[in-house]
Amino acid sequence: MSYPDTRLFIDGRWLDGGSGRTIDVTDPATGAVIGKVCVATESQLEQAAAAAQAAFAGWADASVLDRSGVLRRAATALRARAAETAAILTREQGKPLVEARAEVDGAADIFDWFAEEARRTYGQVVPARDPAVRQTAIREPIGPVAAFTPWNFPVSQAARKIGAALAAGCTMVLKPAEETPASTAVLAQVLDEAGLPAGVLNLVYGVPSEISSHLIAHAAIRKISFTGSVPVGKQLAALAGLHMKPATMELGGHAPVLVFADSDVQSVAGLMVRSKFRNAGQVCVSPTRFLIEETVIDTFRDAFVAQARALKVGHGLEEGSDMGPLVSERRLEAVDALIADARDRGAKVELGGRRIGNAGNFYEPTVLSGLDRGMRVMNEEPFGPLALLIPFKTTDEALTEANRLPFGLASYAFTGSAATKATVERQLQAGMVSINHLGLALPETPFGGIKDSGYGTEGGSEAIGAYLTTKFITERHAPRG
């Protein structure tokens, strides 16, 4: 299949970069250049911010039914293009086609969810002390938004930000990842076809640090939303704070999984293999630190390793591929360095631990045991196909390790005990806790972390609130006569 070059989308028009500069887009499965993405100049960033500002008043005043209708029509159009968009996503990002298709379908569901939420931005009447006074609190869109989305889920993460902002009545300048530009651009295409007014959504690409510093400081921008790594998130949050702008930060994690002896250990192992190696482990909520009650760790290890060994690693467009490549050579080298450090410090490689071939960024599904807290991998999010097996004796010991790191995005637990379940759901320090199944990241549920994993939520009924401000109005009735 052909892969489209990606242009900028500013004020309702598709444009080349003003300087003629482009960035190569590569297929991570082959290393071949498959396309180019245009680079925005500073003047084009100004145009995008100005367009978002100019369009804001009209979009904020638009009927919620009109805003809802645009999102619904865009969702329908995206579903009609799902097969094509999924293939584009696989070419530029590497994930298996079935995962790419699920992401695109999920993005359409997100648009549908926020189409309904647009109708529910309720205010309230506050009872007054004086019967002659009326007190109300109304919700208003915060203003133009600068949003930054990642390469690991370039369609669904952009849909979360776009859907919430547009439903609330905000406009947006979006900077998607340059590694995966074309799949995100499809969202702008379907929204444009759905009747979104010019300037409400603008797409820019280029040098990330230059774009973020320009947009966050821009007077037109009133809110920041970022999904990405903890170090970059902290930098952008600090910059947003410097300009007194609220921010939503969905950052990384190092998710623990607590597996107790009273769970169905072999079934849990199979479920966790599918979750761990989804998108080659490049998932912010990917389970990584597997804390296994020591009486069943051998059973879990044997089942987990056997099923991980059976995974087919290959190009995402090849039929039957269970796991694709890492997105870049840099990501592959980062994972390899963590494994080498652990191996040098005495960790045991139960499975994998090596690059596959010389072409593309393929890495073996890897399982390590014999770990200690001094190893880098026990403290740094691997963001790759790497599982860590760690035994525990008591629930307190497992919770201590689970909560040890400064991250707090997702946690998982498997137990047949109601008492244990109650303990872990209360004491796990995470923004999201999934017990006895995988139940995260649905459009209707909150999605966000605590501690170094960020703040704010991008799912559920709370998500739209980040794009709204509360205005309190108190009014005394004029006396008659």
Alpha helices in 277-350 (DSSP H): 297-309, 329-344
| C-alpha closest to that of 225 among 459, 461, 460 | 459
Spell out the residues 6+ positions from residue 334 whose beta carbon is closer than 8 angstroms to its own. 382, 383, 384
The rounded Cα 68 to chain-centroid distance in angstroms is 23
Backbone Cα Rg of the chain: 24
Residue 214 and residue 209: Cα distance in Å, rounded? 8
What residues are labeled active site?
250, 284
The partner residues of 433 in beta bridges, in order of sequence, read: 411
Spell out the residues 6+ positions from residue 20 whose beta carbon is closer than 8 angstroms to its own. none
Residue 472 and residue 469: Cα distance in Å, rounded? 10
Q: How many CB atoms lie within 10 A of CB 266?
A: 16
What tokens were used for 197?
A: 């007014």
Q: Does residue 152 come out as left (phi exceeding 0), alpha (psi in the -120 to 50 range) or beta? A: alpha
Residue 398 and residue 391: Cα distance in Å, rounded? 8
What tokens were used for 416?
A: 């047949």
Residue 167 and residue 67: Cα distance in Å, rounded? 6
Number of H helices, E strands in the chain: 13, 22
Half-sphere exposure of 71 (CA within 13 A, CB side): 30
According to DSSP, the β-strands at 133-141 and 145-148 are unpaired
Residue 412 and residue 287: Cα distance in Å, rounded? 8
In sequence order, what DSSP letters do the residues of 411-428 get, joined into one string? EEEE-S-HHHHHHHHHH-
Asked if residues 174 and 199 have their Cβ atoms less than 8 Å apart, the reply is no
The DSSP 8-state label assigned to residue 445 in this structure reads: S
Burial category of 332 from C-beta neighbours within 10 Å (exposed 0-12, middle 13-18, buried 19 and up)? buried
